[in-house]
């Protein structure tokens, strides 16, 4: 069922891309019409969307649930924060270093994880994620421990919210495009084949562990990039960026929006970020609300919002077809 | 490393070893419930640490309200464990039961949602303070082990761990219920075909797991202190335990707890801030040789 719909998306990409162009224009003019408050939230939603997309490369396409993705997100953030505050390193190179470092650590962690499947993979990524968290949390002299690092400033020309918003938007848009190309490339098809039937894929001569390791490194690098681009905007980084609570957010976003659709996690993250900022206005009990939302989605909307919408639209079209055939 | 003459003496090592055993005992208490639930239900309960934390706080409140002299702590522990068993029934009956037919990611995420909800319940009900129960008689003092004071309450923890090991061993390998458990872990459809109600079995296993989680939470209150965040702390170590030992295996959990407990105890001697990191290094080493843990079996 899924493969058929993906082919359908490919066929009519051009016909349907009008909404994407509209969306890009909307994002470009957003700073002109939005208040600073909402622009800040929009920045967060964009960065978190990139984070969720990196996670969904593994979850939606490769079929492996990583519960330690926040470690790479936080790692990217820490590398940038330390390079900028301690060495006054070039901002753009810092961003690249953040993504690169996350990818490198992803290579080491991934080496152990890709040999496992299912729950075992989830537990192992969680354990490694917590390991990285603990190292950063306890290594007070080097990382600032639970104080985190403050005063991470971007260069002068990126100090205003509007300017930085455009940076975030372009980084996220380009990254999303690259990820989109990856999942639609032969490499992406191989990942999907592994998800559907690992044995058969192996018989076709595809080295599963190697492919999954490459995907793991890519996902880690993009998660690191998301963290790297976020920290100078927020001006600080803290160990809480690496906890499993943070790792749970892209999981939830993917399930909320729909992991089988490329932009599903993005929709999920946008809903979560805006609901979060709204709820923080009157209560600090965000986790209980997040937990309740998760349970509601699992029970009411299996497959996510976009999947639900897709099913409804197809149903309607088929009904219309039947009605046409009868007249 | 300036260990040299300062601490390599036998008595220090032995003392460290004993505190490692005490820690292993506590880890086993928590991880055994986790492993049991996973072995039979095939659901990895992220919320197991939260049940442990909630058990600790509930026990504290029961102890504080009852204030029975001498045996107060034991009564509170017993009642606290029972309450957590009840919470287990609610979670299994209203949530997990409806998800067995679905994929494991959804089950995992549902238990993760319970983690978030219980965190806020504890925050709302007890606040972010550190709470503690004084050590109960007769485990108030310390015993001298080769001249070093060793809290006698640790012996209580070790004893309790041993009791639970023996109880679980008896339950799983010596009773009819245990036969059913092992059969269901192997092939639940076959067991179901033999006329044994699987949903009923699942409820009881989950309740047993929650009960042990509550019990282990209860006994930590005099061990150190209880506070928000103790759930994540313990669950991560428990994951290391079950990953090293093999998920769903009781002997594996026991061995995993002993390894993690000792690595932690001796790791703290070398470099306190990296004690946890050592555990994960051992875990990585085990995984290179046996990706499914020492006693684990490859997933189907």
pLDDT of amino acid B5: 46
Q: How far is CA A213 from CA A209, B167, B190, in A?
A: 6, 43, 37
pLDDT of amino acid A16: 67
Instruction: Measure B233 CA to nearest chain A CA, in Å.
Output: 10
Which residue in A307, A203, A200, A211 sits closest to A258, CA to CA? A307
Q: How far is CA B174 from CA A94, A316, B168, in A?
A: 61, 58, 10
- Give the burial class of B189: count Cβ atoms within 10 A of its Cβ; 0-12 exposed, 13-18 middle, 19 or more buried: exposed
Nearest chain A alpha carbon to B123: A285
Select from A120, A128, A288 the Cβ nearest to the Cβ of B292: A120
Range of the domain at B39: 29-229
| Contact residues, chain A, for B98 at CB < 8 Å | 299
Record: contact A135-B277, CB cut-off 8 A:
yes
pLDDT band at A157 (very low <50, low <70, confident <90, very high): confident
Instruction: Check pLDDT > 60 for residue A11.
Output: no
Nearest chain B alpha carbon to A138: B273
| Mean pLDDT (chain A, rounded) | 87
| Contact residues, chain A, for B288 at CB < 8 Å | 112
Is B181 in contact with B9 (CB distance < 8 Å)? no
Q: What is the CA radius of gyration of chain B?
A: 19
Q: How far is CA B157 from CA A108, B151, B153, B170, in A?
A: 37, 11, 7, 20
pLDDT band at A159 (very low <50, low <70, confident <90, very high): confident
Instruction: Measure B130 CA to nearest chain A CA, in Å.
Output: 18
Q: What are phi and psi of B150, to 5 degrees?
A: -130, 120
**Mutation test of the interface with chain A: which of B116, B128, B281, choosing the one with the most A Cβ atoms within 10 A?**
B116
**Mutation test of the interface with chain B: which of A257, A295, A297, A304, choosing the one with the most B Cβ atoms within 10 A?**
A295
Residue B12 lies in a domain: no
| Contact residues, chain B, for A139 at CB < 8 Å | 273
pLDDT of amino acid B8: 60
Which residue in B238, B234, B253 sits closest to B294, CA to CA? B253
What is the three-class DSSP state of B140?
coil
pLDDT band at A98 (very low <50, low <70, confident <90, very high): very high
Q: Which residue has the higher pLDDT, A274 or B135?
A: A274
Task: Give strand ranges (E) for B59-211.
Answer: 142-145, 148-151
Record: contact B124-A117, CB cut-off 8 A:
no
Helices in chain A by DSSP H: which ranges?
Answer: 2-11, 13-16, 18-33, 36-56, 69-87, 91-113, 118-138, 140-143, 161-183, 186-196, 198-203, 208-234, 244-257, 264-279, 286-300, 304-326
Instruction: Check pLDDT > 90 for residue A326.
Output: no
| Contact residues, chain A, for B283 at CB < 8 Å | 127
Record: contact A131-B116, CB cut-off 8 A:
no
pLDDT of amino acid B3: 47
Residue B271 lies in a domain: no
Instruction: Measure A288 CA to nearest chain B CA, in Å.
Output: 4
Nearest chain B alpha carbon to A247: B112
pLDDT in tens, B177-234: 889 988 888 888 888 888 888 888 899 999 999 999 999 999 988 877 788 888 888 8
Select from A115, A128, A298 the Cβ nearest to the Cβ of B109: A298
Instruction: Report how far residue A284's alpha carbon sits from residue A279's, in angstroms, rounded to the nearest whole number.
Output: 8
| Contact residues, chain A, for B104 at CB < 8 Å | 118-119
Instruction: Report how far residue A231's alpha carbon sits from residue A143's, in angstroms, rounded to the nearest whole number.
Output: 14
pLDDT of amino acid B114: 93
pLDDT band at A2 (very low <50, low <70, confident <90, very high): very low
Query: Tokens for A160?
Result: 């205003």
Record: contact B116-A294, CB cut-off 8 A:
yes
pLDDT band at A104 (very low <50, low <70, confident <90, very high): very high
Q: How many CA atoms lie within 13 A of A94 on its CB side?
A: 25
Q: Which residue has the higher pLDDT, B297 or A73?
A: A73
Is A52 in contact with A269 (CB distance < 8 Å)? yes
pLDDT of amino acid B67: 77
pLDDT in tens, B44-55: 898 999 999 999
pLDDT of amino acid A228: 94
Select from B117, B240, B247 the Cβ nearest to the Cβ of A127: B240
pLDDT (average), residues A148-175: 90
| Contact residues, chain A, for B117 at CB < 8 Å | 287-288, 291-292
Record: contact A290-B116, CB cut-off 8 A:
yes
Residue B17 lies in a domain: no
Residue B54 lies in a domain: yes
**Degrees (nearest 5) of the Cα angle A16, A22, A24?**
110
Instruction: Report how far residue A274's alpha carbon sits from residue B240's, in angstroms, rounded to the nearest whole number.
Output: 35
Instruction: Measure B228 CA to nearest chain A CA, in Å.
Output: 13
ipTM of the complex: 0.80
Select from A119, A127, A299 the Cβ nearest to the Cβ of B108: A119
Instruction: Report how far residue B113's alpha carbon sits from residue A291's, in angstroms, rounded to the nearest whole number.
Output: 4
Instruction: Check pLDDT > 70 for residue A5.
Output: no
Q: Which residue has the higher pLDDT, A193 or B272?
A: A193
Q: Kindly state the percentage of chain A with pLDDT values over 70.
A: 94
| Contact residues, chain B, for A299 at CB < 8 Å | 98
Number of cross-chain residue pairs from A and B with Cβ atoms under 8 Å apart: 111
Instruction: Measure A15 CA to nearest chain B CA, in Å.
Output: 34
Residue B9 lies in a domain: no
Residues in chain B where the model's pLDDT stays below 70? 1-8, 299-300
Q: Provide the domain count of chain B.
A: 1
| Contact residues, chain B, for A70 at CB < 8 Å | none
Instruction: Measure A180 CA to nearest chain B CA, in Å.
Output: 23
pLDDT in tens, A18-35: 888 888 888 888 888 888
Select from B121, B247, B277 the Cβ nearest to the Cβ of A131: B277
């Amino acid at each position: 069922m899924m493969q058929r719909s993906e082919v359908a998306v490919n066929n009519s990409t051009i016909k349907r891309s009008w909404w994407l162009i509209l969306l890009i224009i909307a994002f470009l003019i957003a700073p002109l019409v939005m208040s600073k408050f909402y622009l800040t939230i929009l920045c967060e939603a964009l960065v978190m969307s990139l984070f969720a997309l990196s996670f969904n490369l593994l979850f939606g396409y490769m079929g492996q649930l990583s519960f330690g993705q926040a470690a790479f997100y936080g790692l990217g953030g820490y590398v940038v924060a330390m390079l900028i505050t301690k060495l006054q390193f070039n901002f753009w190179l810092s961003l690249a270093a953040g993504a690169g470092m996350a990818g490198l650590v992803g290579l080491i962690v991934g080496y152990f994880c890709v040999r496992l499947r299912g729950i075992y993979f989830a537990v192992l990524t969680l354990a490694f994620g917590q390991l990285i968290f603990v190292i950063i949390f306890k290594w007070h002299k080097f990382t600032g421990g639970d104080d985190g690092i403050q005063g991470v400033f971007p260069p002068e020309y990126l100090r205003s919210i509007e300017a930085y918003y455009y940076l975030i938007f372009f980084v996220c848009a380009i990254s999303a495009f690259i990820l989109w190309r990856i999942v639609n490339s032969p490499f992406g098809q191989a990942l999907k084949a592994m998800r559907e039937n690992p044995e058969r894929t192996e018989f076709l001569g595809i080295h599963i562990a190697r492919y999954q390791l490459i995907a793991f490194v890519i996902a880690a690098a993009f998660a690191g990039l998301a963290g790297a681009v976020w920290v100078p905007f927020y001006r600080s980084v803290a160990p809480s960026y690496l906890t499993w609570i943070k790792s749970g957010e892209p999981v939830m976003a993917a399930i909320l929006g729909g992991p089988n659709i490329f932009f599903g996690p993005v929709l999920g993250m946008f809903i979560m970020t805006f609901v979060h900022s709204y709820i923080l206005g009157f209560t600090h009990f965000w986790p209980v609300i997040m937990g309740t939302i998760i349970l509601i989605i699992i029970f009411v909307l299996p497959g996510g919002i976009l999947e639900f919408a897709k099913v409804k639209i197809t149903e309607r079209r088929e009904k219309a077809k039947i009605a046409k055939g009868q007249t | 490393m300036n260990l040299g003459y300062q601490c390599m003496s036998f008595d220090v090592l032995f003392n460290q070893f004993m505190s490692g055993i005490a820690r292993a005992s506590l880890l086993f208490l928590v991880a055994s419930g986790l492993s049991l639930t996973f072995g039979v239900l095939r659901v990895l309960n992220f919320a197991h640490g939260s049940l442990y934390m909630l058990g600790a706080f509930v026990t504290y409140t029961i102890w504080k309200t009852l204030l029975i002299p001498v045996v107060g702590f034991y009564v509170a522990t017993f009642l606290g464990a029972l309450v957590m068993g009840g919470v287990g029934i609610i979670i299994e009956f209203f949530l997990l039961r409806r998800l067995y037919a679905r994929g494991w990611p959804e089950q995992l995420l549902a238990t993760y949602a319970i983690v978030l909800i219980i965190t806020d319940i504890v925050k709302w009900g007890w606040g972010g303070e550190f709470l503690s129960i004084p050590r109960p008689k007769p485990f108030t003092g310390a015993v001298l082990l080769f001249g070093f004071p060793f809290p006698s309450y640790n012996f209580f923890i070790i004893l309790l761990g041993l009791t639970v090991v023996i109880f679980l061993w008896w339950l799983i390998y010596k009773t009819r219920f245990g036969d059913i458990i092992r059969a269901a872990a192997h092939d639940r459809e076959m067991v179901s075909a033999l006329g044994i109600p699987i949903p009923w079995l699942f409820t009881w296993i989950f309740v047993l797991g929650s009960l042990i989680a509550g019990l282990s939470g209860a006994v930590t209150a005099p061990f150190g202190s209880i506070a928000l965040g103790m759930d994540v702390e313990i669950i991560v170590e428990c994951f290391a335990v079950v990953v090293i030992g093999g998920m769903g295996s009781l002997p594996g959990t026991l061995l995993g707890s002993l390894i993690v407990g000792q690595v932690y105890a001796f790791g703290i001697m070398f470099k306190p801030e990296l004690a946890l990191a050592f555990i994960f290094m051992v875990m990585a080493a085990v995984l290179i040789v046996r990706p499914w843990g020492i006693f684990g079996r490859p997933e189907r």
